[in-house]
Homo-oligomer: A and B are copies of this chain.
């Protein structure tokens, strides 16, 4: 068992109307001039943005706003945010939205607090030494960025999608009001549930050893998310199911479900990053589209884990060979994704990828992980290309 750390300093405020506490929380963390960062029109249409600006105004807290963060958030907007913060003397970031907005805000926070080009931190050239303090009002349960140390940004030039992980960017507080997620389109809800599952599954599939308690917690979390994802597919306004999924999203990426493991595999995410970079698809759908092909390619090299996954998460009967049981688990997971109307290959994702596209993605993916990566099975460029081909 390797040594490891656990650090989740984010103060979670969970429940109905908890966004009413925004000003008080910002004040507690010393924020005087705020950048409110958000995405598209949904937080405008829902009235949330107006509610938040009113709360700050009434509290006498000064702010500027920056919208426009998109799924697979762009470096260009990050630069714009950095300039705005410097010009306006912003000392606290408030992300109002989902993972893309939070990740974009984290990048802005790095850019303001460090000299030089912020992309260096994503391109693995330098490590950040500071970050502006960040608060979150979450509107999409999916990425877990509200409690995680990670931020993923896409550079427009070459559509390069890269992540930067550091405790520095962990949010000071995260306001989690399940009601704010109720107006999400069903497709986005399903994408979010898939993403949440994948954050735990990436940590689960490894040959590097794990802890029994972590495995048990991970399996409990996966079963809970699946059950409530199906409830939401029928009843999107179900508060309790929204709450279950929202909390699972935070736990799935805050380190809890990877405690005691070697960090996990993460190749499904890396493979998806290139799909998302080139075709700009919803992250959760991209993960669902590639996971099955990845799993079939690697499961024999991580058989004990895939067998356990099949039995403990999907209730596969323990008859037949280990390989048969493991395969049934993969099939059951794909069937679950389909029940949420998630794609299980690139075609269902709406992508007609050419041979050259696949080669480009494999090349970029391998380059992004320094040639190779994977704890279930170590994958190099040729393996990645095989998986992309199988997912077409």
Which residues of A line the B interface, CB within 8 A?
Answer: 1-9, 11-16, 18, 211-214, 216-217, 219-221, 223-224, 227-228, 239-240, 243-244, 247-248, 251, 256, 259-260
Contacts and interface: CB of A to CB of B under 8 A. Distances in A.
Q: How many copies does the complex hold?
A: 2
Contact of A5 (B8, B12, B216, B251): B12
Contact of A15 (B3, B7, B11, B227): B3
Given A213-B244, A243-B260, A244-B212, A5 B1 contact: no
B243 A228 contact: no
A181 to B, nearest CB: 15
A105 to B, nearest CB: 21
B228 A212 contact: yes
12 contacts: A2-B15, A6-B14, A7-B11, A14-B259, A212-B227, A213-B224, A213-B248, A216-B221, A216-B224, A219-B220, A220-B220, A256-B256
A259 B247 contact: yes
- Please name the 8 residue pairs, one residue from A and one from B, whose CB atoms are nearest each other, closest first: A3-B15, A216-B220, A6-B12, A9-B9, A213-B224, A220-B220, A7-B11, A213-B244
Nearest to A170: B9
Given A212-B224, A220-B219, A11 B1 contact: no
Given A220-B217, A220-B220, A243 B211 contact: yes
B212 A216 contact: no
A319 B7 CA distance: 44
Contacts of A256: 256
Given A212-B227, A216-B224, A247-B260, A5 B9 contact: no
B211 A244 contact: yes
Nearest to A227: B212
Contacts of A6: 11-12, 14
A245 to B, nearest CB: 9
A256 B211 CA distance: 18
B211 A1 contact: no
A259 B15 CA distance: 11
A7 B12 contact: yes
A11 B243 CA distance: 27
Contacts of A9: 8-9, 11
Contacts of A12: 5-7
Given A3-B16, A217-B221, 18 more contacts: A1-B15, A1-B243, A3-B13, A3-B18, A6-B11, A7-B11, A8-B8, A9-B9, A14-B259, A211-B247, A212-B227, A212-B240, A212-B244, A213-B244, A213-B251, A216-B223, A216-B224, A247-B260
A65 to B, nearest CB: 27
A225 B214 CA distance: 12
Contacts of A216: 220-221, 223-224
A2 B15 CA distance: 7
B213 A220 contact: yes
Contacts of A4: 14-15
Contacts of A240: 1, 211-212
A28 to B, nearest CB: 11
Contacts of A223: 216
A219 B243 CA distance: 19
Contacts of A18: 3
A207 to B, nearest CB: 17
A7 B170 CA distance: 13
Contacts of A244: 211-213
A3 B248 CA distance: 16
Nearest to A3: B15
A217 B2 CA distance: 23
A227 B215 CA distance: 14
Nearest to A209: B240
